[in-house]
């Protein structure tokens, strides 16, 4: 199943790769930290499903260092990058602020796999309703799992699950609407 | 128990020329939460009312614990509603003249329980549903969310075997809806009551164990649990 | 199937609980509930007041008549009573400033004169006994011009037992030459035997028509408020059905509700009637000259008892009967009997009955009118 329509997409980590750097910058804004501390803080707040690897942390930090967004604040005795303390620079702070106030692009998913599947099913005379029903079942099952997890989890868990649930619900609405319009759609496809 | 608690088969029901139910059916096993979903006007509420013996289908059977509901007298069906079933609707099921406490105690009183005992049980349920503070208020004086939680308390106060909930969160915002659902499902599981949950909200349906989809008066059971 | 078997109910307690629940629904149901109860109570109360007043009319008229007869000057030669000094007496009527006066001129023949009711001492020549209203009038500035007509010394007042009403202007005056004046008679006692009211049938008809005229708006009022409350009641009873009240229970609950309304209505009615009774003596209606004593306004107790029993019973029966035709479903679906057409004949009943009653009494009415006319001449 394509990533775009797997229910997993909403639960698999709350921070996508490209914003890890900015997230680390944000964490550094509260004060200088060692790389190890940074990873711990990240995992505690954002890494519920996918903790960061050390390698990921250090490669990101070196990129930030290169771009002048962080600087080395101090080095403790010994070897290796884990001895360095990092602090955020003025341009780093600017970047974080810009990032926070820039809206995320609302993803329209216009050409989703599922839409393609439905149209193909209609064109080939297969049951498009079944395609939708199966997807619907899968969505609802995921929602059940999330709901169960929400009921036992703490507040952070609840909020993350709710985020995923609302998105899945939106998908389900689309599924229902499409199901209700299949006749119309099939007429257009066959034209 | 060997069979389902409640079983409906081949239900037909029409109001005027167009059928509301066109061969629908479903079964309910003890203690499970079943969501009934489907588009508006597909016959979800009609199915629920037939299951609860409030509406009599034109044809088809509904049996509770093996007893055909349509064979029961009005008195027996009333008794069933009072002792074995509980109801939570979107709104309007509370008696507007009575306080929350009196509303919750009502089914017990109708069953002949003494006032003191009935109100004590009602108080416990109001506490459990986190609405003890509105015990003395009438439905018109409470918020929608509080009212629904009072309704849930009343539905469960007789420790019924089945709770029928028709869009219980339909008039509530997400936060209050979630709260009602959380409390309803938790209380139902605690008392091993089965729940028939009619809803068109997927997030609400996600509280169920499985779902029944109704379309144009016909139903499809997803995952029949043996 | 043990679950479906009905447990042996403690019937009596259940009945009690249901009735109390009905009563609870009628009282303390928030502002709307109280408003409904107040409407019902005022409606029923007004009806009860009218009925109580109607049953009082007969007694009130009879009491006035009786006292009128009791002080009347006998027309025929009265039999001699040993030890009584007969009195020459004649009735006099006059008007002043649009007001009617009535009185008796008397001339005693000895110390043992007979006494009319309400009078301690029959006046001698140059003396007068006045009714309280007349006395008050003479003392007031209004009576300025009247005073010369009553130059005699006032020796007493007529108390209520000698008057038909509190505002009656009545006097007994001692005059030298009654024996020679017109209409005079010599008598050993005052009073003529009281006659039962001749026109009882007609009177009752008038009372009935008057009551109906007064009751009509009341009935319309009650009907309207009932219809307004019907939707709320159906919703309420449907909610009760949903939680498992069976048909019988709903009926008992509705009965309890109606009973409270009727009961409060009775209290309101009795209260309004008592209020009216207190106000009556201050009125001076032209139709009943001299006004009405509160003591005369006394309902017929058997009818009162009937009203007190019938009104609540009727309210309960109507409440239960109206539920018989409107079956309340647990969902608030109200299934009405197919016969939605309103029956015309119901509405024809009052006018037809009225015409019939009038026709039955019409002959007597004209007879009496003729008779009265000839009396006057
Ligand atoms: N009492 C009634 N009288 C007439 N028609 C009715 C009645 N109840 C339901 N219907 C009709 O039966 C059909 C099914 O109604 P029902 O209330 O079961 O739908 P639903 O699935 O609950 O819809 P919704 O999600 O809007 O509540 C509809 O077409 C409706 O108009
Ligand atoms: Mg519905």
Same domain, A93 and A28: yes
Flag whether B126 is in a domain. Answer: no
Touching pair C, A by Cβ (3+ pairs < 8 Å): no
Alpha helices in chain B (DSSP H): 44-51, 74-83, 100-110, 115-128, 144-156, 174-190, 202-205
Q: Does A165 touch chain B (CB under 8 A)?
A: yes
**Do residues A126 and A97 share a domain?**
no
For a mutational test of ligand 1's pocket, the pick from B37, B44, B165, i.e. the residue with the most ligand atoms closer than 8 A to its C-beta, is B44
Question: For a pocket test of ligand 1, which of B20, B22, B42, B218 has the largest count of ligand atoms closer than 8 A to its C-beta?
Answer: B20
Q: Which residues contact C64 (CB under 8 A, 6 or more apart)?
A: C164, C165, C288, C292, C296
Question: What is the C-alpha separation between C92 and B41, in angstroms, rounded?
Answer: 90
Give me the pLDDT at residue B11, please: 94
Report the residue of B5, B50, B78 to disrupt the C interface, i.e. the one with the largest count of C CBs within 10 Å.
Answer: B78
Residues A16 and A94 grouped into a single domain = yes
Residue B55 · residue B49 · CB < 8 Å: yes
Give the distance (Å) from ligand 1 centre to CA of residue B36: 14
Is A82 part of any domain?
Answer: yes
CATH number at residue B214: 3.40.50.300
A122 and A85 both lie in a single domain: no
Among A73, A101, A129, identify where a domain stops.
Answer: A101
User: In this structure, are A78 and A56 located in the same domain?
Assistant: yes
What's the CATH code of the domain at A41?
1.10.10.10
pLDDT for position B5: 93
Burial of C300 (C-beta count, 10 Å sphere; 0-12/13-18/19+): middle
Name the residue at shortest CA distance from atom 31 of ligand 1. B41
Residue C125 gets which letter from DSSP? Answer: B
**C308 vs B134: CA distance, rounded Å:** 41
Residue B145 lies in a domain: no
Give the domain range for residue A37. Answer: 12-101
In a domain, B34, yes or no: yes
* A136 φ/ψ angles, rounded to the nearest 5 degrees: -60, -45
Q: Which residues contact A57 (CB under 8 A, 6 or more apart)?
A: A24, A35, A38, A39, A42
Same domain, A114 and A94: no
Cα C247 from Cα C320, distance rounded (Å):
11
With CB atoms and an 8 Å threshold, state whether A147 touches B206: yes
Give the dihedral sign, CA B28/B31/B32/B37: positive
Label residue B165 by pLDDT band (50, 70, 90). Answer: very high
Q: Which residues of B touch A143 (CB under 8 A)?
A: 202-203, 205-206
Q: d(Cα C44, Cα C169) in Å, to the nearest integer?
A: 39
C243, B81: Cβ pair inside 8 Å? yes
Residue B146 lies in a domain: no
C66 alpha-carbon distance from chain centroid: 18
Question: Which of A101, A125, A151 represents a domain boundary (last residue)?
Answer: A101
Domain region containing B213:
1-84+163-169+192-226
Query: A76 and A139 share a domain?
Result: no
| B27-47 tens-digit pLDDT | 999 999 999 998 889 999 999
A147 at the B interface (CB within 8 A)?
yes
Residue B119 lies in a domain: no
Residue A4 belongs to some domain of the structure: no
In a domain, A130, yes or no: yes
Residue nearest to atom 14 of ligand 1 (CA): B43
pLDDT over 90 (residue B92): no
Predicted confidence at residue C371, as pLDDT, reads 42
Domain count, chain B: 1
Q: Is A97 in the same domain as A114?
A: no
Whether residue B156 lies inside any domain: the answer is no
- In which residue ranges of chain C is pLDDT below 50? 1-6, 333-340, 365-377
Q: What share of chain B is helix, strand, coil (3-state, %, to 5)?
A: 40, 25, 35
Residue A113 belongs to a domain: yes
DSSP helix/strand/coil, A65: helix
CA of B40 to the centre of ligand 1 (A): 8
pLDDT band at B199 (very low <50, low <70, confident <90, very high): very high
Q: What is the pLDDT of residue B212?
A: 92
Cα–Cα nearest to B37, from B221, B226, B223, B225: B221
Q: Are C280 and C297 in contact (CB under 8 A)?
A: yes
Does B216 map to a domain? yes
Residues A61 and A95 in one domain: yes
What's the confidence (pLDDT) of residue B101?
A: 96
pLDDT at C344: 58
Q: How many domains does chain A have?
A: 2
Say if B180 falls within a structural domain.
no
Does the CB atom of residue B45 touch ligand 1 within 6 A? yes
Which residues on chain B place their C-beta less than 8 Å from a C-beta of chain C?
49, 54-55, 65-67, 72, 74-76, 78-85, 87, 92-98, 102, 106-107, 109-112, 138, 140-141, 154
Return the SS3 of A100. helix
Q: Which atom of ligand 1 is nearest to the CA of C331?
A: 1
Calculate the average pLDDT of chain B. Answer: 90
Instruction: Report pLDDT digits (tens) over C85-127.
Output: 888 888 888 887 777 888 888 888 888 888 888 888 888 888 8
Q: Given an 8 Å threshold on Cβ–Cβ distance, is A137 in contact with B205? A: no
Residue B149 and residue B164 in contact, taking contact as beta carbons nearer than 8 Å: no
């Amino acid at each position: 199943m394509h990533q775009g329509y797997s229910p997993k997409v909403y639960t698999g980590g709350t921070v996508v790769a490209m914003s890890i750097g900015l997230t680390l910058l944000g964490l550094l804004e509260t004060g200088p930290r060692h790389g190890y501390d940074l990873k711990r803080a990240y995992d505690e707040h954002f890494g519920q499903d996918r903790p960061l690897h050390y390698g990921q942390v250090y490669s990101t930090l070196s990129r930030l260092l290169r771009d002048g967004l962080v600087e080395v604040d101090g080095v403790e005795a010994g070897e290796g990058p884990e001895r360095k303390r990092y602090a955020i620079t003025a341009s780093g702070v600017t970047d974080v602020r810009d990032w926070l106030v820039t809206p995320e692009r609302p993803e329209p998913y216009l050409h989703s796999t599922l839409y393609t599947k439905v149209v193909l099913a209609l064109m080939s005379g297969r049951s498009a309703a079944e395609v939708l029903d199966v997807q619907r079942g899968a969505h609802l099952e995921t929602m059940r799992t999330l709901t169960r997890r929400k009921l036992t989890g703490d507040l952070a868990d609840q909020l993350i699950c709710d985020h995923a649930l609302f998105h899945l619900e939106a998908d389900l609405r689309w599924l229902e609407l499409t199901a209700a319009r299949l006749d119309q759609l099939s007429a257009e496809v066959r034209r | 128990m060997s069979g389902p608690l409640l079983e409906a088969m081949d239900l037909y029901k029409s109001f005027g020329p167009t059928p509301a139910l066109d061969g629908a059916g479903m079964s309910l096993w003890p203690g499970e939460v079943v969501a009934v979903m489907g588009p508006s006007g597909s016959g979800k509420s009609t199915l629920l009312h037939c299951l609860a013996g409030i509406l009599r289908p034109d044809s088809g059977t509904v049996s509770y614990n093996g007893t055909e509901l349509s064979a029961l007298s009005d008195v027996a069906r009333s008794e069933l509603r009072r002792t074995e079933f509980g109801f939570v609707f979107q709104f309007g099921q509370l008696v507007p003249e009575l306080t929350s406490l009196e509303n919750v105690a009502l089914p017990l009183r109708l069953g002949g329980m003494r006032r003191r005992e009935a109100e004590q049980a009602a108080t416990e349920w109001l506490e459990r549903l986190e609405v003890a503070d509105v015990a003395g208020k009438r439905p018109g004086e409470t918020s929608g969310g509080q009212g629904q939680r009072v309704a849930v308390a009343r539905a469960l106060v007789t420790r019924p075997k089945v709770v029928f909930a028709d869009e219980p969160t339909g008039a509530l915002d997400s936060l209050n809806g979630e709260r009602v659902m959380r409390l309803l499902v938790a209380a139902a599981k605690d008392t091993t009551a089965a729940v028939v949950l009619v809803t068109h909200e997927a997030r609400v349906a996600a509280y169920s164990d499985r779902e029944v989809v109704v379309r144009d008066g016909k139903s499809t059971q997803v995952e029949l649990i043996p | 199937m043990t679950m479906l078997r009905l447990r042996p109910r403690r019937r009596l307690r259940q009945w009690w609980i249901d009735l109390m629940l009905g009563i609870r629904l009628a009282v303390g149901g928030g502002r709307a509930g109280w408003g409904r109860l107040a409407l019902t109570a005022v409606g029923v109360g007004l009806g009860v007041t009218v009925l109580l007043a109607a049953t009082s009319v007969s007694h009130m008229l009879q009491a006035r008549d009786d006292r009128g007869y009791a002080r009347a000057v006998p027309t025929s030669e009265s039999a001699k009573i040993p030890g009584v000094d007969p009195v020459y007496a004649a009735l006099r009527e006059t008007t002043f400033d649009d007001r009617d006066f009535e009185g008796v001129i008397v001339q005693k023949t000895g110390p043992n004169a007979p006494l009319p009711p309400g009078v301690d001492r029959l006046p001698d020549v140059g003396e007068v006994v006045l009714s309280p209203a007349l006395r008050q009038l003479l003392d007031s500035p209004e009576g300025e011009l009247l005073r010369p007509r009553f130059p005699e010394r006032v020796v007493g007042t007529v108390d209520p037992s000698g008057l038909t009403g509190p505002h009656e202007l009545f006097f007994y005056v001692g005059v030298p030459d009654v024996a020679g004046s017109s209409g005079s008679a010599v008598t050993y006692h005052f009073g003529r035997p009281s006659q039962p009211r001749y026109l009882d049938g007609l009177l009752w008809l008038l009372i009935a028509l008057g009551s109906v005229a007064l009751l009509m708006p009341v009935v319309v009022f009650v009907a309207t408020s009932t219809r307004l409350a019907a939707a709320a009641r159906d919703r309420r009873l449907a909610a009760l059905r949903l939680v498992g009240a069976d048909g019988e229970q709903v009926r008992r609950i509705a009965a309890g509700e109606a009973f409270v309304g009727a009961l409060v209505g009775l209290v309101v009615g009795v209260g309004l009637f008592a209020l009216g009774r207190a106000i009556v003596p201050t009125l001076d209606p032209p139709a009943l000259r001299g006004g009405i004593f509160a003591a005369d306004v006394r309902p017929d107790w058997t009818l009162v008892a009937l009203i007190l029993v019938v009104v609540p019973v009727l309210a309960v029966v109507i409440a239960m009967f109206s539920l018989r035709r409107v079956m309340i479903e647990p969902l608030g679906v109200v299934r009405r009997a197919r016969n939605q057409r309103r029956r015309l004949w119901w509405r024809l009943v009052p006018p037809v009955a009225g015409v019939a009653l009038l026709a039955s009494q019409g002959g007597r009415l004209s007879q009496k009118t003729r008779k009265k006319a000839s009396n006057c001449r």
